[in-house]
C-alpha cells in the first residue's frame, strides 16, 4: 500500500512543476484520498482536486481503484463574487484481478499510466477528439 504524499506534475509548458498537496489520506476501503493543486484558484472551492478510492468486490477476487480529477474554471460576476462556471472532469476506474501475478499487474500499472501520459493522449484531450 502506498503512503499518502504530495504529487509533483508538470504544467502544460512541460517545465514548470505543480504540487498537488495531500489534503486527506484514505481511511480505508471506500474512503477517498484527496489532493488539491492549491496554486490554482483563489479559494479552496476553486482548486483543482483529485480523489481516489479503493475497494474489493464481494468475492475479494478483484480490487477496484476509482477516482476523479476535476479542474474548475471560475469567473468574477458583475456583483464581484467569484463563481465556478465550468468543470473539466477526468474519471478513472481500474480493475485489478487479485489472481493475476504481480509482474503482470506491475507492467499493467506502468504501461497504462504511461499511455495516459503520452503526447498523443494529451493532445486528444486538448483537442476534444480521439485520434483520426
pTM of the model: 0.90
> What phi, psi does 10 have (nearest 5°)?
-90, 145
The answer as to whether 45 is a domain residue is: yes
The answer as to whether 33 is a domain residue is: yes
The answer as to whether 113 is a domain residue is: no
Among residues 42, 44, 66, 37, which one has the least CA distance to residue 54?
Answer: 66
Alpha helices of the chain — where are they, by DSSP H?
A: 102-116, 119-127
C-alpha span between 102 and 27 (Å, rounded): 25
The answer as to whether 86 is a domain residue is: yes
Q: List the domain range (segments joined by +) for residue 24.
A: 7-54+67-92
Among residues 34, 97, 96, 41, which one has the least CA distance to residue 67?
Answer: 34
Q: What's the pLDDT at 122?
A: 95
C-alpha span between 74 and 45 (Å, rounded): 10
The answer as to whether 20 is a domain residue is: yes
The answer as to whether 75 is a domain residue is: yes
Instruction: Write out pLDDT tens, residues 56-108.
Output: 999 999 999 999 999 999 999 999 999 999 999 999 999 999 999 999 999 99
The answer as to whether 121 is a domain residue is: no
Alpha helices of 11-117 — where are they, by DSSP H?
A: 102-116
* Domain count within the chain: 1
In the structure, what pLDDT confidence band is assigned to residue 1 with cuts at 50, 70 and 90? confident
Q: What's the pLDDT at 2?
A: 86
The answer as to whether 44 is a domain residue is: yes
Amino acid at each position: 500500500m502506498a503512503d499518502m504524499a504530495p504529487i509533483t506534475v508538470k504544467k502544460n509548458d512541460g517545465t514548470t512543476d505543480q504540487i498537488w498537496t495531500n489534503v486527506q489520506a484514505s481511511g480505508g476501503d471506500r474512503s477517498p484520498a484527496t489532493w488539491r493543486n492549491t496554486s490554482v484558484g483563489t479559494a479552496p472551492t476553486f482548486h483543482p482536486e483529485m480523489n481516489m478510492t479503493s475497494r474489493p468486490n464481494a468475492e475479494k477476487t478483484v480490487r477496484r481503484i476509482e477516482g476523479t480529477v476535476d479542474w474548475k474554471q471560475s469567473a468574477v460576476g458583475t456583483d464581484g463574487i467569484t463563481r465556478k462556471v465550468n468543470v473539466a472532469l477526468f474519471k478513472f476506474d481500474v480493475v485489478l484481478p487479485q489472481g493475476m501475478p504481480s509482474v503482470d499487474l506491475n507492467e499493467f500499472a506502468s504501461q497504462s499510466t504511461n499511455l495516459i501520459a503520452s503526447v498523443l493522449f494529451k493532445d486528444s484531450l486538448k483537442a476534444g477528439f480521439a485520434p483520426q
